[in-house]
Amino acid sequence: MQIFIAQQNYHIGNFSANTAKIIQAIEQAKAQNGDLIIFSELAITGYPPRDFLEFEDFILRSEAALQGIAQHADGIGVLVGAPARNPDPNGKRLFNAAYLLYDKKIQAVQHKTLLPTYDVFDENRYFEQAVRHEVMHFKNKKIAVTICEDIWNLGDNPLYRICPMDKLTSQQPDFMVNLSASPFDYTHDEDRQAIIRANALKYQIPVFYCNAVGSQTEIVFDGGSFVFDSKGNMVKKLPLFEEALIATTLNADNSITEQITETADRLPLHEINPLTLEPELNISQIYEALVMGIQDYFAKMGFSKALIGSSGGIDSAVTIALACAALGAQNVRSVLMPSPYSTSHSVDDAVALSQNLQGPYDIIHIDKIYEAFLSELKPVFGDLPFSVAEENLQSRTRGNLLMGIANKLGYILLNTSNKSELATGYGTLYGDMAGGLGVLGDCYKLQVYALARYINREKEIIPQNIIDKAPSAELRPGQKDSDSLPDYTVLDQILYQYIERRQGPSEIKSMALPGVDAALVDRTLKMVNRNEYKRNQFCPIIRVSPKAFGVGRRIPIVGEYLL
């Protein structure tokens, strides 16, 4: 049996484009004598459709698309994901379903059992849990069809009380198929390999795993679909961050005789969970995810040109380089806005960066605008000493200028704030926190430096002085980030423990992290919690870590905890 995996990039709610893409892959598989082709979870609607699922019109369009696709399932079986109605008036009105199409009609349907509600997932909000588990019969084979989370309930501390494959295995399936929309984070490719290997070994059958690829606002799907044989060997791995269509031959005895990509004993045994922040960990994957996140956000929203405030600092430099890789340098406009406190080398560094990338840039001095603000505010400010108010006026002046240019010339402003800054509130609302998409908001400062080194791996794109110099907002004379924040080598490790690993103050203090004392832990966690109101107003952030700010981290704004 020739089984194809179609790893594709869908657009949520774009039924015509998604359907055309699915049909094209079906026709390609048919031309190569394919017997079965597998698509990802909710491929027809795109994932995650969220509250679109509450609209009857959305479901009707999904059903019409499914019927249209079925007309091409002649001579080939098609496994594709889409919502299904719940005929029982009790429970949610929909299931998250996998459809087997053949002979131009629906032959079988399997509903998803395990509905995640952690991190970015909200599936129990929309879907009812599966009540039946039956193998699908196709060309004398019995297929155990699972959907994404259904295969993850293994290990010593399972999240759910049931395991769908334990029910299906009693029906002696010949192989397992998993339709997935599994988001990227920089530990997840290894996690997936470990869990699929574990399933193959536990149930002693081949596993065909089809994952989505592409970015949906803040969530990036990296693909990396797999085929594993019954002994837990990886037979095929589809590329990360690319669409792909690959066939595998399943023999009559359910063996796979194709060349093994990776033997079971060389694959990860368990999920990756670094105990401390490792800034270089899978930095190439983080780079690819951020480029795809920018690229798809612009393409799917119908935009083409990005605007970025260029300060001569590391964050804006990395953001500009990423945007140029995603959109082309000619479509990325940098705006340098020196203030009375900007150093000459910052302007020079920013100019050098744009010249290295061959991208357009403008220099707009904000001195006169800033002085005008101070003049008008003098009667109100009186003789009060210089403070953060005057600093923020500079930042908000820049934000206004950037948004004015974006509005006038049709650009989307990319935000350059990093995760360390967002965590501690080291940013100005309506100033340097303005933007339509947060590029680095899920990268700690140490990871931003790692990205800069990765970008420069073959030649110097980001001027070395930008990487070497001490970071500064340059909003007052001689200012450095270290005036307000601990050194990033210390700060980022505390933040990682609190945000990613959800460790409390006593647990972090007991870890004896280098340079960390009890007072610093208390001060840092207080900064994180009291600045939730800022993050709540921030733009979407491209998610690259296991715990990003945004929809996957829900913290009350008004709360007393650790304040």
Does the annotation place 404 within a ligand binding site? no
Cα 365 vs. chain centroid, distance in angstroms? 36
The answer to whether 112 is a known catalytic residue is yes
Does the annotation place 408 within a ligand binding site? no
What CA–CA distance (Å, rounded) separates 162 from 166? 8
Q: 128, 148, 163, 300: which one is catalytic?
A: 148
Q: 21, 112, 300, 305: which one is catalytic?
A: 112
Torsion angle defined by CA atoms of residues 359, 363, 364 and 365, in that order, rounded to the nearest 10 degrees: 150
Q: Which among 216, 404, 412, 398 has a CA at the least distance from the CA of 323?
A: 412
Q: How far is CA 435 from CA 308, 414, 428, 538, in A?
A: 9, 5, 12, 8
DSSP letter at 226 equals E
Backbone angles phi, psi at 316, to 5 degrees: -65, -35
Q: 41, 218, 288, 474: which one is catalytic?
A: 41
Strands 234-237 and 213-216: unpaired
DSSP letter at 218 equals T
Asked if the bond preceding 48 is cis, omega within 30° of 0, the reply is yes
SS3 sequence of 106-173? EEEEEECCCCCCCCCCCHHHCECCCCCCCCEEECCEEEEEEEHHHHCCCCCCCCCCCCHHHHHHHHCC
Provide the 10 A C-beta neighbour count for residue 489: 13
Does the annotation place 480 within a ligand binding site? no
What CA–CA distance (Å, rounded) separates 433 from 153? 39
> How are strands ordered across the β-sheet holding 437-438?
361-363, 332-336, 306-309, 412-415, 437-438
What CA–CA distance (Å, rounded) separates 560 from 558? 7
Structure token pair of residue 351:
């100019």
What CA–CA distance (Å, rounded) separates 549 from 546? 10
Does the annotation place 311 within a ligand binding site? yes
Q: Which among 53, 117, 51 has a CA at the least distance from the CA of 86?
A: 53
DSSP letter at 541 equals B
Does the annotation place 309 within a ligand binding site? yes
Structure token pair of residue 94:
């929909």
The answer to whether 148 is a known catalytic residue is yes
Token pair 């945000």 is at which residue?
Answer: 499
Q: How far is CA 378 from CA 76, 87, 247, 381, 502, in A?
A: 76, 68, 72, 5, 45
Does the annotation place 310 within a ligand binding site? yes
Does the annotation place 293 within a ligand binding site? no
Under a CB-based contact definition with an 8 Å cutoff, are residues 120 and 154 in contact? no
Does the annotation place 313 within a ligand binding site? yes
Under a CB-based contact definition with an 8 Å cutoff, are residues 178 and 38 in contact? no
Does the annotation place 258 within a ligand binding site? no
The answer to whether 210 is a known catalytic residue is no
Does the annotation place 387 within a ligand binding site? no
Does the annotation place 534 within a ligand binding site? yes
Does the annotation place 255 within a ligand binding site? no
Residue 471 — left, alpha, or beta (φ > 0 → left; ψ -120 to 50 → alpha)? Answer: beta
Structure token pair of residue 75:
């001579």
**End-to-end C-alpha distance for the chain, whole angstroms:** 61
What residue numbers does the annotated binding site for L-glutamine cover?
A: 118, 182
> Which amino acids are annotated catalytic?
41, 112, 148
What residue numbers does the annotated binding site for deamido-NAD(+) cover?
A: 392, 421, 534
What residue numbers does the annotated binding site cover?
A: 118, 182, 309-316, 392, 416, 421, 534
What residue numbers does the annotated binding site for ATP cover?
A: 309-316, 416
